[in-house]
Structure 1
């Protein structure tokens, strides 16, 4: 496992050892240094991070809750793998929740005020310094869209879906970069959603969400 020599930087991370371990392993997974299915060896990780097993194990437990690693008794921990079918189904679920949220929320009262969180996430996507930051902003954008409904149960239902989509979305970003696609293309699709929200026309918003969520935008390979 080559990762200890290339573990993501700990600059500006929180002081907690668990937070440090969680952030650095997470960034190494989402940044592609650790590959889907790769086994995580605790001894090597502890050496790379300069920490004991206790905070590392807690960090790995949190990563497992977020769907980034899989822990199997007597077999250890591996980076999560998602089949194309899994990914398609997760995106379908996200779309169902977003559609329901829009059906509840639109038309909006005080459009500009209600869209502040959505606008802020889009602005973060535009100016993200790297793919990891853009991925985080992308997740906040979709959470903010569903949040327009003001339905806490919808928010809670969406959260694990967005967490599970972290890895496939990060993999897709790297695939887009290899194929020389422009990140601006993805941002334009999100701008179209915001523009539709500003019309306060429910049908226009649903159409923008449908077009944005089309799986042709993703590199999923052949369904498993």
Structure 2
């Protein structure tokens, strides 16, 4: 991470560019990401581009195919369903562990802040920042449990799900009202604010994170 006021490095610029193109659907699952073309578009050398691709491969957004270079990661429908199921299990465990929430302070501060960032990004039509705030929102729910190992277990699942999560939100915005995704998360926050673990867990089950993905789930 750069310190405050420092310009982004070439690696950061390349990472943001490819991440934005993958999440927005410019690159389709399985599509090859050509290093030379990317270097030409960014006006940079291969070294920062290769490091950016390596970092994105660690996130699970792209994958390296021996002797063929990098391509957008391909997740089967079963993979995606299983990852979302793991996400739900960990989130429900976090809620069961965290509730009742502490009476002092504002234990939901980070959840609320992530929703505010998500709302602001949506209003600005900054889809990448909305995606980032979306993931922070769910990470903040799990963080309520105060369990470091749970946070560490949850993080890679969120990274692997960032593409289907982004596509669900974007498809929802296209075929429904643009702010529907933000409203769904506001409703989840309201359920958390009730202070009842059963109410919050039920809200998670009705959250709709799969509603706009073509996964043949009926």
Work out whether the TM-score is over 0.5: yes
Q: Deviations over 1:8-60 (max 9, x none)?
A: xxxx9943111111111111111222222110111111111111111111110
Provide the rounded CA distance (Å) in 2 between the counterparts of 1:57 and 1:152.
32
Q: Which position in structure 1 is the counterpart of 2:182?
A: 187
The alignment partner of 2:26 has SS state of coil
- Cα distance change of structure 1 residues 214 and 142 upon mapping to structure 2, 3 Å threshold: closer
Q: Which position in structure 1 is the counterpart of 2:131?
A: 135
Q: Which position in structure 1 is the counterpart of 2:215?
A: 221
Provide the rounded CA distance (Å) in 1 between the counterparts of 2:209 and 2:158.
17
Shift of 1:170: 2.1
Deviation larger for 168-177 or 155-164: 168-177
Q: Which position in structure 2 is the counterpart of 1:157?
A: 153
Query: Can you give the 5+ residue segments of structure 1 that lack an aligned partner in the other structure?
Result: 1-11
Q: Deviations over 1:52-71 (max 9, x none)?
A: 11111111000000011010
The alignment partner of 1:114 has SS state of coil
Q: Does 1:169 align with 2:165?
A: yes
After superposition, where does 1:41-60 map in structure 2 within 5 Å? 41-60=34-53
Provide the rounded CA distance (Å) in 1 between the counterparts of 2:6 and 2:202.
40
Provide the rounded CA distance (Å) in 1 between the counterparts of 2:204 and 2:106.
21
Deviation larger for 181-190 or 143-152: 181-190
Question: Do 1:40 and 1:79's aligned partners in 2 also have CA atoms closer than 8 Å?
Answer: yes
Deviation larger for 123-132 or 35-44: 123-132
Shift of 1:79: 0.9
Provide the rounded CA distance (Å) in 2 between the counterparts of 1:171 and 1:197.
25
Query: Can you give the 5+ residue segments of structure 2 that lack an aligned partner in the other structure?
Result: none
Q: Which position in structure 2 is the counterpart of 1:147?
A: 143
Q: Deviations over 1:175-197 (max 9, x none)?
A: 3344x212332222222221122
Provide the rounded CA distance (Å) in 1 between the counterparts of 2:208 and 2:104.
23
The alignment partner of 1:71 has SS state of strand
- Cα distance change of structure 1 residues 14 and 162 upon mapping to structure 2, 3 Å threshold: farther
Give aligned pairs, total.
210
Q: Which position in structure 2 is the counterpart of 1:9?
A: none
- Cα distance change of structure 1 residues 13 and 32 upon mapping to structure 2, 3 Å threshold: farther
Q: Which position in structure 2 is the counterpart of 1:76?
A: 69
Residue in structure 2 matching 1:27, options 15, 20, 45: 20
- Cα distance change of structure 1 residues 72 and 31 upon mapping to structure 2, 3 Å threshold: same
Q: Deviations over 1:196-216 (max 9, x none)?
A: 22221111111111111563x
Question: Do 1:14 and 1:20's aligned partners in 2 also have CA atoms closer than 8 Å?
Answer: no
Q: Which position in structure 1 is the counterpart of 2:30?
A: 37
Q: Which position in structure 2 is the counterpart of 1:95?
A: 88
